[in-house]
Structure 1
């Protein structure tokens, strides 16, 4: 897992970033700082996020807290796919979550919060609204 300070050291926090309602685009790191198929942790306004870069350079952002255990471990999960949809498996109890919509394939009572993400000029950004 990459340290948050390593990812965000060169990127200023932009309170004036474009917003939608109370949400704002927050820069997290450069795309190059993320290893494909590995997660990284990020801290935005005291909230733990998990950032995933896939081999095709798509980026997904979720809460880092595992809804099954309450532990901050999802950035250390295993990237995969289910019927062509990107997934993350929790490293603890192996609950498998869809990275696009957060549904859990192994326990329908669980839901992982996902966040819109984009890459702009090589910088990964998340639309954060908390």
Structure 2
């Protein structure tokens, strides 16, 4: 039996202010794994997809350590909400809102994201 992988030319795009910015090929993303990308202003974004194909994009910088590592974090769900846990101090950030689940005073930036 021969398996063939369906290829796609869809790109992952983020809304930055009033324009869409291409981050990577959709095929680059694996469910549960993050990808870091450099933005035009020099900051970084962490992009994720889940098993249903939903896309998420948040600031890659961990606000507790200042390190650009959130794309390397472990993903999961808490009370029905997807999150990524920082690989350093393990704080969890809601992938939809950016809210830190351990400290409600802390939040990371989220981005509107789509595949087109």
Please confirm whether the aligned pair reaches a TM-score higher than 0.5, indicating the same fold. Answer: yes
- Residue number among 78, 91, 96 corresponding to 2:92 in the alignment: 96
Please list, as runs of the form range in 1=range in 2, the aligned pairs for 1:1-130 lying within 5 A after superposition.
22-45=17-40, 46-120=42-116
RMSD of aligned Cα (Å): 1.6
Normalised by the length of structure 2, the TM-score is 0.82
Gaps of 5+ in 1: 1-10, 12-18, 121-130
Question: Runs in 1 of length 4+ with deviation above 3 angstroms?
Answer: none
Gaps of 5+ in 2: 1-10
How many residue pairs were aligned?
102
